Amino acid sequence: MATIMREIPEGCHNVPLGLVKIYWESGGHSLASISNDRDGVRHFHCCNWINIECFPLKEALKDIIRIEVIQVNTAESK
């Protein structure tokens, strides 16, 4: 069952690593993977975008309405 994060905390550390659906302020949604860089900063990579870059999640928060967690990376909890 999916978890919906309506309140996304500052710093994004509570957004789990894994597959999510991001709902945008401008409308629509994107499927994205959430990962960490070497410094532990959360990044996202939208699977349905042509651009293959990943972006710091914190920088995109102003454009996000909510995040629906689809699949959590279970290796993160080990």
pLDDT above 70 covers a percentage of the chain that reads: 74
Q: Could you tell me the residue range of the domain that residue 26 belongs to?
A: 3-77
pLDDT in tens, 12-43: 557 788 888 988 889 999 898 888 888 877 88
Average per-residue pLDDT for the chain: 75
Q: How many domains does the chain have?
A: 1
pTM above 0.85, yes or no: no
Determine the straight-line distance between the first and last CA of the chain, rounded to whole angstroms.
Answer: 21
